[in-house]
Structure 1
Amino acid sequence: MEDSSERGRLSPLRVLVAIASYGASNDRYLKQLIREYQTMSFAVDIVIISNIEKRVADDIECLVGLPSRNPWSLPFSHKKLFADRADRYDLFIYSEDDILITEKNLLAFLDVTASLQDDEVAGFLRIEKGDDDVINFPDVHAYFHWNTTSVRSRGQYTLASFTNEHAACYVLTRQQLAKAIKSGGFIVEPHEGKYDLLCTAATDPYTQCGLTKLIPVSHLDDFTVHHLSNKYVDSMGIRKVSLLQQIGALLQAAADPQAPPPLLGAETRLWRCMYSKDYYEPASEPAVAMIPDHARSILSIGCGSGCSERRLVERGCRVVAAPLDPVIASYAAAQGIEMVPGDLRAVLAKVESEQFDCVLYQNVLHLAPDPVEMLALFRSVLAPSALVIIQVPNMLCIPVLWRGARDRRRLHRRGGYEATGVHFTSVGRIREWCHRAGLTLDKVVPILHRRAEPIRPVMRGFVGVSMAPELVVVARAALPTSAPADKTIESVRRKRAALADDRN
């Protein structure tokens, strides 16, 4: 077997690869990774980090042991390895044992790095291949999305930031690694927050070391790595055709100085980003069911990929939607949904001459800087007898409180919206917001966890609400004689003052 010193004569570049490998279940992928690295024209040294002894080849080192008692902390072991050998290599690669990084990927990484600023790092997106050879991008899911203001040109490359920094791998140059180590955020105890332990080990360089991960969207194929296990191909992610559609919209928005801004910040700063808006959330059957059949025009505030909205289009409704951002807008527009992108006031300016039979807020009200303002702004476009449908998390339900008691990281951080990016929501809070916005609450529909559905018949009234992690609230415009709470309180104060004057 050709050793690294012989391969090193073909290229001066020395590469250290650390591969995290649990047990033996992925050994077939691990061997494929090793074969790939051994055929490269660089001087590559491979170190396997595992919880069991592995003897793959004589020239491959295996480090056994966990950095903490938590078994998922294993990947953090690579950090000390990199720090100890930081001056011996030019390139440092960390990956899980089923991530195939090719020489083509590394050559592209080196090429774009020459044009990047000191705090910018080229990153990768994972791909998976289904039985039909359709390409799936599993990293594009949940609340993760393109940062529409992050697009930049560097040499021949156009790059952008994707909010999911995790790709189960990263590549750093010696200079980038030195910057990460110097920041104080690289050599740290195993920890988790936005990501779990396994993912955090691969994202720390970007999340707490002063480096920004950028995807070279102009050369996407050079910056995709194959997730060999293909474990999410049918359960998570989007197809390549959809991703290319998003990138096209991203670049179009970046080239337009008048491009609309995102509607609101959809990602919270809670542990694991709890209560963030899912850009790809499935159709909400409970929310859609509350929209009466006679409703023909719907305004949706905070549309993601548009699954619920598409259901309404299929019912024959005209659906106008304020998208979360211009990129996801292209996704929903292709499904017959009329898009009105921009911030809340820009959206209102575009629709204020119309009237709608229903206004839908699906899991966005708690993310608005001012929920009362969001509700009040669109009260003016409600047709007579129109409904307002609000879906929100029920943060006061027993399952949520129980999980918070067992794991205090799930509890809200102090500091309110400014610190967390989210407002606390419960039936009482939604009722208060509606009243202050000039709406009256008609009905509360609890959305039970799927495992609790069999006992729905006994989950009525307060019991049902107290066990439901989500709520659908139905409201309507208050009668003209019913003043919002803020005005009512002020009028009571004035009457009391007048009575006091009369007595005097």
Structure 2
Amino acid sequence: MNKKKPKILAVLVNYGTEQIQYLEQVIKELKSFSKYDVTVIVNSNIDLNIKGIDKVEIFKLDDYQLLPLTCRNTIWNNKQFYDIFLYGENDLLFEEKHIDNHLIYSSFLPKNRIAGLLRYEEDADGKYYPDYHANFEWDFNSVEIYGGKKFAHFTNLHQATFILTKEQLQDLGKKIKFNQLYTDSFSGYIELTKRKISQKLGIKIKRTTLYSEIYSKKCRVNTDIFKYGGKKKIICITDFDQNLIHHLSNVYINGLKGRNKLRSDEARMRNSIKKLLK
């Protein structure tokens, strides 16, 4: 008797028509998985007619920064019916190896750790890592070994995706309201407390950078999971190349619509990985 394939629910977000060609590529790849039964739902502001989509959910919102959040709600509403859950923006190329690796790592990682990915873009000159910018950096003191593999923490939590097992999703639901964005209420409390101490002692205390100042609402759809879900995001550096996910649109390399960043090139990343592996 054939063993049933694990059931994946992939919920993708799409806005407008700008990146339809990438969405088509992402869906085609998801539907090519051989070891998993994949259902694809796309939450969009427009109707879509793309082969491989099982369901399109259309949303009309006043603030389309909140469109990605509808994906977390869709996942939560279907938490009993699938074994693995994916969220992604419409230009992130999930490959079957990402799921394979996530399940392998989850089998031996502690419950308070969760495997993450790192986005890359690519052109004729090589790979670039758009999340490796500003003050974001590897935590070079964070290397941990599990299952004979080395893992490390990258301080930029944003990867525009997440992969969760059913157990991980249930655990997260005990820590955060999964279908709501995390607010700055706790950070705001710290800020108020520091201000009171400053006034009382007559000294200046540097203000806290609020979570919402680092990550936009659409970014927090995935960063909430890693920051407030009780599971530290770590990336397997032993299998580094296997834990990269392609940002197909290359918007940061090309600087489209002002989205250029001080991105990391391949040399900087490889030097950092060598340092971590030592």
> Structure 1 length as normaliser, TM-score?
0.46
Q: Is the 8 A contact 1:120 1:211 kept in 2?
A: yes
After TM superposition, the structure 1 = structure 2 runs for residues 96-495 of structure 1, keeping only pairs within 5 Å, are 96-132=89-125, 134-189=126-181, 192-233=212-253, 235-236=260-261, 237-252=263-278
**CA 189–247 in structure 1, closer or farther in 2 if over 3 Å, else same:** closer
Q: CA deviation at 1:59?
A: 5.3
- The amino acid across from 2:227 in the alignment is T
Corresponding residue for 1:55?
49
Alignment partners' CA distance in 2, 1:143 and 1:53: 39
Shift of 1:12: 2.3
- 1:356 maps to which residue? none
The structure-2 alpha-carbon separation of the partners of 1:121 and 1:78, relative to structure 1 and needing over 3 Å to count, comes to same
- Does the 8 A contact of 2:115 with 2:236 survive in 1? yes
Q: With CA pairs under 8 Å and 6+ residues apart, which has the higher RCO, 1 or 2?
A: 2
The answer to whether the Cα contact below 8 Å between 1:112 and 1:157 also exists between their aligned partners in 2 is no
Of 123-132 and 168-177, more deviation after overlay is shown by: 123-132
Partner SS, residue 232 of structure 1? helix
Once the two structures are superposed, what CA deviation does each residue of 1:138-185 show, in whole Å capped at 9, x if it has no partner?
110101011122110010321011010111111011111111111134
CA contact (8 A) 2:182 2:224 kept: no
- Provide the C-alpha distance between the structure 1 equivalents of 2:100 and 2:117, rounded to a whole number of angstroms: 13
Alpha-carbon offset, residue 57 of structure 1: 3.6
Distance 1:89 1:214 in 2: 24
Quote the Cα distance in structure 1 between the aligned partners of 2:77 and 2:124: 43
Q: Deviations over 1:205-254 (max 9, x none)?
A: 111111211110110111000000011125432122221101222233xx
State the distance in 2 between where 1:38 and 1:251 align: 35
Q: Is the 8 A contact 2:116 2:234 kept in 1?
A: yes
> For 1:25, what is the secondary structure of its paired residue?
coil
Choose 236-245 or 168-177, whichever is displaced more. 236-245
Shift of 1:189: 4.5
Q: From the CA coordinates, give the structure whose radius of gyration is larger.
A: 1
Query: For the residues of structure 2 that align with 1:127 and 1:102, how far apart are their CA atoms?
Result: 14
Q: Secondary structure at the match of 2:271?
A: helix
Distance 1:10 1:127 in 2: 35
Q: CA deviation at 1:97?
A: 0.2
1:190: Cα distance to partner? 7.4
Is residue 2:51 matched to residue 1:70? no
- Alignment correspondent of 2:205: none
SS at match of 1:114: helix
Q: Deviations over 1:73-128 (max 9, x none)?
A: 10000111111111111110000000001011211111111110112111000111
In structure 2, the gaps of 5 or more residues are 184-211, 255-259
Distance 1:103 1:249, change over 3 A: same
Task: State the alpha-carbon separation in 2 of the partners of residues 58 and 136 from structure 1.
Answer: 30
Separation of aligned partners in 2, 1:58 and 1:131 = 31
Partner of 2:80: 87
Quick one: distance in 2 between partners of 1:71 and 1:59? 21
| Counterparts of residues 29-44 of structure 1 (less than 5 Å) | 29-41=22-34, 42-44=36-38
Cα distance in 1 for partners of 2:240, 2:276 equals: 14
- Give 1:187 shift: 2.5
Matched, 1:26 2:46: no
Q: Percent identity?
A: 29
For residue 64 of structure 1, report the CA deviation from its aligned partner. Answer: 1.1
Question: 3-state SS of the aligned residue for 1:141?
Answer: coil
Kept in 2, the 8 Å contact 1:73–1:190? The answer is no
How many residues in Structure 1 have an aligned counterpart in Structure 2? 242
**Which string of whole-angstrom CA distances, capped at 9 and with x for unpartnered residues, describes residues 38-63 of structure 1?**
11011000000111111224752011
2: CA distance between counterparts of 1:176 and 1:190?
A: 18
Indicate if the aligned counterparts of 2:48 and 2:56 stay in contact, CA closer than 8 A: yes
Structure 2 counterpart of 1:16, one-letter code: L
Change (3 A) 1:113 1:189: closer
